[in-house]
Structure 1
Amino acid sequence: MNFSDYPWLKLPYQQLASGILHQRTHHALLINYVQGSGEDELIKLLANRLLCESTNQLDPCLSCHSCQLFGVNNHPDYYVITNEQGKQSIGIDQIRNISSKVYEKSQQGGNKVIWIKHASLMTEAAANALLKTLEEPPEKTYFILSDEHNSHLLPTIHSRCFSYFLAVPNLEQSVEWLKKQHNQQYNDNELATALLLSENAPLTALALLEPEKWQQRKQFCDNLSHVLPQNNYWQLAKTFDHEQFLERIIWFSTLLSDALKAKQKVGRFIINRDQVPLVRLLATQNNEKITALYDLWLQARTQLLSVTGLNKELIVYNVLAQSELIN
């Protein structure tokens, strides 16, 4: 990884890699992040440094046999554990399997690194099985657990790890980075909006700014401008696939939140900086209606995320119909 591509990762890497260099690193590192912050790139570089045969520099040497194996995704002492395809959780068998391997001698004679990706997906049984290994870690074995900042891990797992939060860069730094990626295709308000919709995570904002995706958002906002005066939310059903509804919920919820900010004369804090006319249009409605719409759409989001077996299309139609009943 080149830090010129992800400049905000340089300091976090230096902070974490200095412990490796001076042989003070914790055997279990828990990294929390905002998705799209470059978390995978940082963790891969840390894993590479832990496996590197060089001991006198901060960065992996990239030339030793271990680095060469890592570079072609073929290092025998590097394990990545996450939920298997089609499954929603990391099961106990996956943890037991890796636990048996970590007590064996490393194949390259150096460190072993186990990265548990989306660690909160571990079942309680899997987490308890891992806990036993974390309590009595094998020599020269390092665990990296990673998950989003709002995820939930067992407190006992937390207590066995060194926790590190990967902070997102500030808005100005991210805007400058996005300008380089898009070669001035978007103005500052559009770039800031993409970042604020993405919790300031640069890589998530970059994906949102892909022309097709950004056009979908603009079209959604245009459609809202037409349906709001007639309170005809049902027409929105024609404008998107139902699988995209979660994304639309986030977009509409932020617009509603911005409308409340505008009514309270704190418009400088709005998220949708490229949609000021639409925010003002929403702000012509009373506070009670805006709040009721906000609650309704977020409730639909919760249903879509947490309840299995429900007809998603039915949820979409219901929230659009209920929106028209709010006065």
Structure 2
Amino acid sequence: MIKNGYSWLIQPYQQLATSILHDRAHHALLINYIQGSGEDELIEQLANRLLCQASSDLAPCLKCHSCQLFLSHHHPDFYQITNEQGKQSIGIDQIRSITAKVYEKSQQGGNKVIWIKHAALMTEAAANALLKTLEEPPANTYFILSDDHNSHLLPTIYSRCFSYFLPIPKLEQSMDWLKNKQGLHYSDNELASALLLSENAPLTAKTLLDPTKWQQRKVFCENLLSVIPNHDFWTLGVTFEHDHFIDRISWFCALLSDALKAKQKAGRYIINRDQVPLVRLLATLSYEKITALYELWLNARRQLLSITGLNKELLVYYVLSQSELICD
């Protein structure tokens, strides 16, 4: 039923597909997820089932003409909308274009499915244009809106949808998938660390465990071990590759958070389980210094994510110099 061995998606799919099987599917489904938990796979399977014209089961038949069109990515009644390349939002023209089509007759004589990916990127005007269609949906037309769990849709859109949060698998299940299904040869502590750094989203953890990426984190942690005793943060600057500022800042924030947990005798909750000596070293700093460092680096991360055109290198060196001042 679920391809690619994403076993944790079986139960969510069954829950959502049951309503399709019994003709009780809501015309507007909102799926929130933690990125990297197999959300695209789940939505594509649901869309396939909605468009299938021969199945009498939870899964699409994969054999009818409609399924064959979907599998070849040429189904004329399946529409996918997201922000266009180079743009930060989904505009009203995109929504108007699609809403005009959904009132037309289905080309395959079955359902029509519209998937709005990263739905929170809709401008207010675009969301309001969609709202009119959601209030009076045409027959046999289904909308699937999806976005990260931290995103925010307009309350009016939210209220017209059936909301579903895609659960992430348990840590042990994800570790088993990475180890036995993906054949990744890492220690249990390394696998657990990658997952916890990825909010336990298996696909994001798999990306982090790419040998090149994982080695970058390892080197960054080794550099911290030599930098922290002398508070010589400035020397870290040369290790901050331009395209990976966010990664290193995020990694350091997670380590600082772990150091705070260690100081509060809550070590069993640490994320960086493969970097215990580094966490203990950071925990030798005072509570006030760790907190100040955490707030400094976290604020830098927020700026990098929210301000376009920001001079990243200048920001990083500012943060490094301020870190030295905090620790002196």
Cα distance, 1:94–1:4 mapped onto 2, change above 3 Å: closer
Match of 1:73 in 2: 73
Match of 1:296 in 2: 296
Q: Which amino acid in 2 is paired with 1:75? A: H
Match of 1:215 in 2: 215
Match of 1:274 in 2: 274
1:2 Cα offset (Å)? 3.7
1:310 Cα offset (Å)? 2.3
Name the CA distance, whole Å, in 2 between partners of 1:56 and 1:2. 17
1:184 Cα offset (Å)? 5.3
Q: Which amino acid in 2 is paired with 1:147? A: D
Match of 2:101 in 1: 101
Q: Is 2:245–2:312's contact at 8 Å kept on the other side of the alignment?
A: no
Name the CA distance, whole Å, in 1 between partners of 2:208 and 2:264. 29
Alignment of 1:51-90 (within 5 A): 51-90=51-90
Q: Is 1:194–1:205's contact at 8 Å kept on the other side of the alignment?
A: yes
Name the CA distance, whole Å, in 2 between partners of 1:139 and 1:70. 20
1:295 Cα offset (Å)? 0.1
Match of 1:122 in 2: 122
Match of 2:229 in 1: 229
Name the CA distance, whole Å, in 2 between partners of 1:91 and 1:274. 44
Q: Is 2:300–2:315's contact at 8 Å kept on the other side of the alignment?
A: yes
Name the CA distance, whole Å, in 1 between partners of 2:324 and 2:67. 60
Tell me, yes or no, if structure 1 residue 252 matches structure 2 residue 252. yes
Q: Is 2:119–2:153's contact at 8 Å kept on the other side of the alignment?
A: yes
Tell me, yes or no, if structure 1 residue 113 matches structure 2 residue 118. no
1:181 Cα offset (Å)? 3.8
RMSD: 1.0
Q: Is 1:3–1:10's contact at 8 Å kept on the other side of the alignment?
A: no
Aligned residues: 327
1:6 Cα offset (Å)? 0.2
Alignment of 1:1-327 (within 5 A): 2-3=2-3, 5-183=5-183, 185-327=185-327
Name the CA distance, whole Å, in 1 between partners of 2:184 and 2:166. 28
Q: Is 2:127–2:157's contact at 8 Å kept on the other side of the alignment?
A: yes
Name the CA distance, whole Å, in 2 between partners of 1:119 and 1:310. 26
Name the CA distance, whole Å, in 2 between partners of 1:182 and 1:146. 27
Name the CA distance, whole Å, in 2 between partners of 1:249 and 1:91. 32
Which consecutive aligned stretches of 4+ in structure 1 deviate over 6 angstroms post-superposition?
none
Question: Identity rate of aligned residues, in percent?
Answer: 74
Name the CA distance, whole Å, in 2 between partners of 1:4 and 1:69. 20
Cα distance, 1:109–1:184 mapped onto 2, change above 3 Å: closer
Name the CA distance, whole Å, in 1 between partners of 2:28 and 2:301. 34
Name the CA distance, whole Å, in 1 between partners of 2:250 and 2:31. 26
Consecutive unaligned residues in structure 2, runs of 5 or more: none
Q: Which amino acid in 1 is paired with 2:262? A: A
Q: Secondary structure at the match of 1:145?
A: strand
Deviation per CA, 1:118-172: give whole Å up to 9, x if none: 0000000000000000000010000000000110000000000000000000111
1:55 Cα offset (Å)? 4.4
Deviation per CA, 1:66-109: give whole Å up to 9, x if none: 00000100000000000000000000000000000000001101
Q: Which amino acid in 2 is paired with 1:36? A: G
Cα distance, 1:194–1:135 mapped onto 2, change above 3 Å: same
1:199 Cα offset (Å)? 0.2
Consecutive unaligned residues in structure 1, runs of 5 or more: none
Name the CA distance, whole Å, in 2 between partners of 1:139 and 1:2. 28
Q: Which amino acid in 2 is paired with 1:130? A: L
1:3 Cα offset (Å)? 4.8
